[in-house]
């Protein structure tokens, strides 16, 4: 259940509701929105009816949520949430571009990438330092040294940063350098890692699992939210199907569906979804038309020399063209890019 309070309620009224919930064995999760204050009550729903919450000062209504995901539900948010990452705001009117190479390979490479994506309008630099690869013989990333130089490059060009974490150790390291952590598809149901990210409080990009249903994806987000972290951005990156001509199958229907179910912002990763450079542009435009709040795009200064994901990476010129094309589509759906 969620308890909706007037946005102008004094702090003592909010605290009184929280105290009453907790004294009756409920977990109370406070969400402060622009138009209202929401308190999520997690526990035995049956006993809420006898607590008289509706008559407490400042309470507008008490609304039961029947969905298995409570805190990330549309009802709990009362509208679209905006997640701030550095100077970028994901979930607002502007389409946010998160761009950069699959992996940090060298200082020269990441500085060139940062300069290029900034020039084309990106707000967040992406780059992997801990790479969970299918083959143990593939490049595994530069780890902390990669994060250090990516952080320095991002600061020089005024960008925020995001990188993937794969376990508790890499999370501890990443939090020293980046503005946002990413949970990859393979770790979407690594519940201990989700809980740790929730406790860390850093904004988090949560990718959909390889074969995850929408409900499983949102339940993974719920694990993060129950630890007190509301800064969650969902990322559709394609799901595994029988199709072999693309790396994955991009489920664009998930974008408007999830936005109808949850208050969390949604971005799309057309690079991993398709695996083909020629499809990144068309699928990016389609994603924005479908309602995506941002795009996670792989951009490499020289894709032919990339140590991973070269075939799906755009070069700086291709990314600049895409950024320009996005402006037209964004304007057509009442957004900006």
Identify the pLDDT of residue 167.
95
25 burial (CB, 10 Å; 0-12 / 13-18 / 19+) is: exposed
Are 174 and 156 a contacting pair, CB within 8 Å?
A: no
Query: Between β-strands 232-236 and 204-207, what pairing exists: parallel, antiparallel or unpaired?
Result: parallel
User: Cα(205)–Cα(164) distance, rounded to whole angstroms?
Assistant: 9
| Within-domain flag for 78 | no
Are 234 and 267 a contacting pair, CB within 8 Å?
A: yes
Residue 120 sits in the same domain as residue 199: yes
Are 47 and 95 a contacting pair, CB within 8 Å?
A: no
Identify the pLDDT of residue 46.
58
Answer with the one of 10, 31, 64 that is the final residue of a domain: 64
For 21, the domain range is: 2-64
Sheet holding 2-6, edge to edge: 27-32, 36-42, 2-6, 59-63
Residue length of the chain = 337
Reading the chain (337 residues) residue by residue, the pLDDT tens digits are 888 888 888 999 999 999 999 888 888 888 776 667 888 887 766 566 668 888 899 998 888 787 889 899 998 877 899 999 999 999 999 999 999 999 999 999 999 999 999 999 999 999 999 876 666 756 667 889 999 999 999 999 999 999 999 999 999 999 999 999 999 999 999 999 999 999 999 999 999 999 999 999 999 999 999 998 999 999 999 999 999 999 999 999 999 999 999 999 999 999 999 999 999 999 999 999 999 999 999 999 999 999 988 999 999 999 999 999 999 999 999 999 9
Identify the pLDDT of residue 15.
92
Q: What is the CATH number of the domain that holds 158?
A: 3.20.20.70
Residue 250 sits in the same domain as residue 328: yes
Q: What is the CATH number of the domain that holds 14?
A: 3.30.70.1140
Identify the pLDDT of residue 137.
59
CB-based contacts of 328, cutoff 8 Å, min separation 6: none
Residue 267 sits in the same domain as residue 167: yes
What CA–CA distances, in Å, run from 87 to 46, 122, 155? 43, 11, 12
């Amino acid at each position: 259940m969620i308890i909706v309070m007037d946005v102008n309620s004094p702090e003592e009224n909010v605290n009184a509701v929280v105290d009453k919930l907790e004294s009756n064995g409920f977990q109370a999760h406070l969400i402060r929105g622009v138009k209202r204050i929401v308190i999520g009550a997690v526990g035995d729903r049956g006993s809420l009816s006898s607590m008289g919450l509706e008559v407490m000062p400042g309470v507008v209504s008490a609304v039961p949520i029947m969905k298995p995901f409570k805190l990330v539900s549309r009802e709990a948010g009362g509208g679209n949430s905006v997640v701030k990452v550095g100077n970028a705001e994901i979930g607002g009117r502007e389409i946010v571009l998160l761009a950069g190479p699959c992996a940090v390979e060298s200082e020269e490479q990441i500085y060139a990438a940062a300069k290029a994506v900034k020039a084309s309008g990106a707000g967040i630099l992406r780059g992997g330092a801990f790479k969970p690869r299918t083959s143990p013989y593939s490049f595994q990333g530069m780890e902390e040294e990669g994060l250090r130089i990516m952080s320095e490059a991002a600061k020089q060009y005024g960008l925020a940063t995001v990188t993937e974490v794969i376990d508790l150790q890499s999370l501890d390291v990443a939090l020293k350098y980046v503005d946002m952590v990413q949970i990859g598809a393979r770790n979407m149901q690594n519940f201990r890692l989700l809980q740790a990210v929730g406790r860390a409080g850093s904004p988090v990009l949560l990718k959909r699992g390889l074969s995850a249903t929408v409900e499983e994806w949102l339940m993974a987000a719920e694990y993060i939210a129950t630890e007190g972290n509301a800064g969650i951005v969902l990322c559709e990156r394609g799901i595994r199907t029988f199709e072999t001509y693309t790396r994955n199958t991009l489920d664009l229907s998930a974008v408007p569906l999830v936005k109808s179910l949850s208050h969390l912002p949604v971005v799309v990763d057309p690079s991993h979804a398709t695996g083909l450079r020629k499809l990144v542009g068309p699928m990016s435009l389609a994603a924005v038309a479908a309602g995506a709040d941002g795009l996670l795009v792989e951009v490499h200064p020289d894709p032919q020399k990339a140590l991973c994901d070269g075939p799906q990476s755009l070069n700086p010129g291709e990314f600049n063209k895409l950024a320009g094309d996005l402006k037209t589509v964004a304007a057509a759906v009442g957004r900006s890019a």
